Amino acid sequence: MQSLLILITQVIQLYIWIVIIGAVLSWLIAFNVINTQNRFVYTVVDIIYRVTEPVLAPLRRILPDLGGIDISPVVLLLLLYFVQNLIWELYGSFQAGM
């Protein structure tokens, strides 16, 4: 059972890094630091967008409009850390009950 929880935690941790990389890439693109005309950069940005957008889009609909500031990645990161901690808390209470 612990191996499954470790796997789930690692997948959540990987997704957290993908969200962080996606946010940093969006800033770099917005400030014209990197060019999306480069095929490799475009491919990386597209893959990260396709992986994160299905989760970020519903959050953007729920969150209030802050005038061009997108806080949905921050909210998603907080939710992912909460879920990760909740999983281990529940596992700990399950182990204590046995």
Question: pLDDT tens digits for 24-56?
Answer: 999 999 999 999 899 999 999 999 999 999 999
d(CA 73, CA 52): 9
Is the model more confident about 1 or about 71?
71
pLDDT of residue 25: 95
Read off the pTM.
Answer: 0.90
> Would you state the pLDDT for residue 44?
95
What percentage of the chain carries pLDDT values higher than 90?
Answer: 80
- pLDDT score for 16: 98
CB atoms inside a 10 Å sphere around CB 6: 11
* DSSP result, 24-86: HHHHHHHTTSS-TTSHHHHHHHHHHHHHHHHHHHHHHHHSPP-SS---HHHHHHHHHHHHHHH
